[in-house]
A and B are shown apart, each in its own frame.
Chain A
Amino acid sequence: MDVELSDRDEPRMIAAILAGDREQYHELIRPYERSVYKMALSFMKNESDAEDVAQEAFLKAFRKLADFRGQAKFSTWLISITLNEARGRLRRQAIVRIESLDESPEQGGHISPALLRDWREVPSEALERQEIRQMLQDAIASLSPLYREVLVLRDVEEFSIEETATALAITTGTVKVRLHRARMMMQKELAPKLKKTAPRRRWFQWS
């Protein structure tokens, strides 16, 4: 999570909230609004459900704050709560796809990536274009849940391998296997599209 936290003393804020200064919770969570929403949206696929999940997660974290023991970063704990909230919501909506049960991902053959002869960097400025943002969101959303969870924690929320394993209650080995497949699926899906939609501008001269 890329939040600038150098001047924040989160353990102290949490202690203060638990001691009765409940208003400080607003400040505690302010840097994480986007992260929690990203997590929720990558699962729920529509903005209003995602907002609901995000709000519930923040409320739950407040109610459970006394359980937070500082064994992980507050942000990691918060994202885990969001993950559980999103999973629970999906279960209740009964839209967890059957396909995810049929898969045996760890035994699957390898994913062949999209073959390209060269690659010119697509700069972050490209994300100013809605079509590019949508392309990335769609690619993430199209992953089956097992892969999406790992990819979102690791590559969207930027958890470490260990944090990802802890949040999902799986081994680091399983994280790596799923992550590899998820990243290859992303490459296969996105590399040709990104190349094709690249505008004829100086910073990517596709030939």
Chain B
Amino acid sequence: MVIECKHVWNYISDYIDDSLSPEIRELVQRHLEHCEICSAILDSTRNIMVLTADDHVYELPLGFSDRLHARLSEEIGSNPAPPSDDAG
């Protein structure tokens, strides 16, 4: 059985996640071996996923951490834990 490009496109995401059945995976694999367009779609999709996952896409604003912990301290700090090393 041979599948067409537009069918392969439907499987790209599951192919990347390795969640296709072995039979379908095999069909897709064989198609990709000789179809440069589908290969480029696969490669670009995967590449974009790698970039999307990169921490540098969303940078923390300056002072984010300080402001966060200051706010947490207000919540937490009403009852601070005593230092444990000289407590006794």
Interface residues of A (CB under 8 A from B): 2, 20-26, 29, 33-34, 37-38, 41-42, 47, 51, 54-55, 58-59, 62-63, 110, 112-119, 121-122, 124, 126-128, 132-133, 136-137, 140, 151, 155-156, 158, 161, 176, 179-180, 183-184, 186-187, 190-191, 194
Q: Within 8 Å of chain A (Cβ to Cβ): is B21?
A: no
Assess the B58–A37 pair: CB atoms within 8 A.
yes
Q: How many angstroms between the C-alpha atoms of A115 and B64 in the bound complex? A: 41
Considering only CB atoms, which chain B residue lies closest to A172 in the complex? Answer: B19
B contact residues around A115 at 8 Å (CB): 37, 40-41
B contact residues around A158 at 8 Å (CB): 53
A contact residues around B54 at 8 Å (CB): 124, 127
Q: How many angstroms between the C-alpha atoms of A117 and B52 in the bound complex? A: 22
A contact residues around B73 at 8 Å (CB): 26
A22-B65 in contact given A116-B44, A136-B51, A191-B48 (Cβ < 8 Å): no
Report the minimum CB–CB distance from B19 to chain A (whole Å). Answer: 7
B contact residues around A41 at 8 Å (CB): 58
Assess the A113–B51 pair: CB atoms within 8 A.
no
For the residues of B in contact with A, the DSSP-based class is helix
Report the minimum CB–CB distance from A199 to chain B (whole Å). Answer: 15
Residue of A25, A63, A118, A133 near B57 (CB, 8 A) is A133
Assess the B61–A47 pair: CB atoms within 8 A.
yes
Q: Within 8 Å of chain A (Cβ to Cβ): is B2?
A: no
Assess the B49–A183 pair: CB atoms within 8 A.
yes
Q: How many angstroms between the C-alpha atoms of A24 and B80 in the bound complex? A: 10
A137-B57 in contact given A114-B44, A187-B44 (Cβ < 8 Å): yes
Q: How many angstroms between the C-alpha atoms of A179 and B53 in the bound complex? A: 14
Q: How many angstroms between the C-alpha atoms of A110 and B69 in the bound complex? A: 45
Instruction: Show 11 A/B contacts (Cβ-Cβ < 8 Å), sorted by A.
Output: A23-B76, A25-B76, A37-B58, A58-B72, A115-B40, A121-B43, A133-B57, A133-B58, A158-B53, A183-B13, A184-B9
Q: Within 8 Å of chain A (Cβ to Cβ): is B68?
A: yes
